[in-house]
Structure 1
Amino acid sequence: MMLPKFRKIDIQSYKPGKSKISRIHNAIKLSANESALGTSKRVFRILNKKIKINKYPDNNSKNLRKQISKKYSCEFEKIICGAGSDEIIQIICQLFLNSKDEVIVPRYSFLMYRIYSKIIGAKIKFSDEENFKVSIKEILKNVTSRTKIVFIANPNNPTGTYLKKEELILLRKKLNQKILLVIDDAYNEYIKKKDYISGLKLFKKSNNVIILRTFSKIYGLASLRIGWGYGPKRIVKEMYKIKAPFNVSSTAQLAAIESLKDERFVNKSFKHNLFWGKKIRNLLNSYKIHTNEINTNFFLLNFKNCKYSANFIKKKLENKGIILRSMNTYNIQNCLRLTVGNKSENIKLINTLKLIFK
């Protein structure tokens, strides 16, 4: 029997970090940049109420978009919600790209930018980074007449570095106005630096910038798959035409609404991340493991000057039931990514590292 002809796609599929260790129950997962403090209690209270799971959800997430609009003082019509910000990336690629187009992404950046672009058939051009920081100069060097989209996350995953306000302004100014700039604000809630500004605040009124936001990080809704995008009204209107129907579940919409109302939880999560981030970073630096500053809820650990390799430490930690993220899929050599955990997880990590380096 003949197999119907299908298109072969030359991409490496997304490989999530390890989440389990054989023979070890209740392993500590510090590999996925998930919320250290879990989820707001407001979410559990709303989810305990009756949800009619036999009914389709609101197709356009109207109540959630109203809450987003209220919280961030932005326009309702410019908001689109998705099954994670991943879906918004996918819709952007479907709407803007053809097989002859080019997309620029930093060499070390969230893998879904390149994956969804390549599925369409676009050519990916990687801009080099300087000391693991996105370089405006290198992005601009890669621009051609075929460049259609530039994707950046700020702060960046997996490097944990960020672009300053003036650097973002310069990038948008230097790019051709016809090139779409997509700024991923996924880790925005974890950074409070004087020279930082979120993409949403900076480009709220722009006609050629789309902003991505997620509920998977500080809000702790990773398993519900919920995110949103914000962009020019005419572009968002077209995005709705190709959005899948009922793409965000009723549970996810309700949980996201309640999460946005709980500023106390977000502030507590920020303070927790800063407190434990400082402790962990100081310890790592004492072992000559170089890291980014505390701009996110994770660290990129560089073992270049350490007496042990990244692979050695990864195996030692896994033997004790602690999982870090390998950077092999990002082609970053001799590095690991570490998520800041809850109090007990961080204490176990610190004590285990002290034993390894004793």
Structure 2
Amino acid sequence: MLLSLTQVSIRYPSTPDTGAVDERSAVDSVSLGLAQGDIGVLIGPSGCGKTSLLRAIAGLEPLASGQISLGGAVLGDAERNVHVAPEMRRIGMVFQDYALFPHLSVAQNVAFGIQGQPAAERQCRVTELLDLVGLGSAAKRAPHQLSGGQQQRIALARALAPAPRLLLLDEPFSSLDVDLRERLAQELRSILKQTGTTALFVTHDQLEAFALGDVIGVMHRGRLEQWDDAYHLYHRPATRFVADFIGHGVFTPARIVEGDGASGPRVRTPLGDLVDVEECPLPAAYPGGECDVLLRADDIVHDDESPVKARIERKAFRGSEFLYTLQLATGERVLAHVPSHHDHRLGEWIGIRAEVDHVVTFAREASGGAYGA
């Protein structure tokens, strides 16, 4: 692994109402690895610690515990009191606000971090990077003459100019509109792959994370809940928080029961039994087999012939589809993606069935009641 974090913790002082000085953990015992040339993404709600972790990797935050290494060299080790200065780490960083120098031209901004190189080499590198980000014709322009998306690409070119061992990006698209963010995320991935740059990206936008990341980390309250590819985050969430945070879905009371004859266990839900699924846990996995099953919106199929009916409580138009919020006669709520030409009225009852390829269950929350027999 190029980048390796081992049990990294970061703490900030806090002053409660009592007046006593205390400390709170912004990052708590995070371990992860990022391979050469891979793009990692940290995602999570505001205040979960993702930016603090990025700043610690850059050398801008001291470690309370743990170790950070890059290419086998230790950059920070709390126990051994090692802290390599930020400017000595060969790590580039792209910020939310671009941080371009307004008094310098686009080319001068890109060249800022490579002033020590010979003039000819410097010019060649600037031209190469401006062409790479599609702004070769803007070299002599001032940053304020460019759009937000163009300024972000200039900031990226400037960060890439010194050929950093690792590039860190802290929500660089947060100030841009949704359509532009999605396009730039795809362009950014292409540029990073072309240059073979290893990068770690922070965002709160799941679509950005999925578009960019080879590996994605979901953070919650300072802890790394899961560090995995997008497919496994969605279909194999390691914790209840990841299951709830990624995608659209609900947890429904269920019971795992033994199958009949040669069939394996099945999960009994308000929409019927989920059967013939290899990943189905054994009934003994939970007391009495009682659990909560994750039903995502794409697990619920609109089927007028189904005996299971649900009433439409809410619907959100998404272009090619609606996201329906549905209530079953038994009171449980589920979500469903329905093609937008199936434009049913609020309050209407429609038939639905479950098609679950990946059964994901968790321990029953205290508020959930027993289900099935």
TM-score between both structures, scaled by the size of structure 1? 0.23
Identify, as 1 or 2, the structure richer in strand: 2
Radius of gyration: which is bigger? 2
Identify, as 1 or 2, the structure richer in helix: 1
TM-score between both structures, scaled by the size of structure 2? 0.22
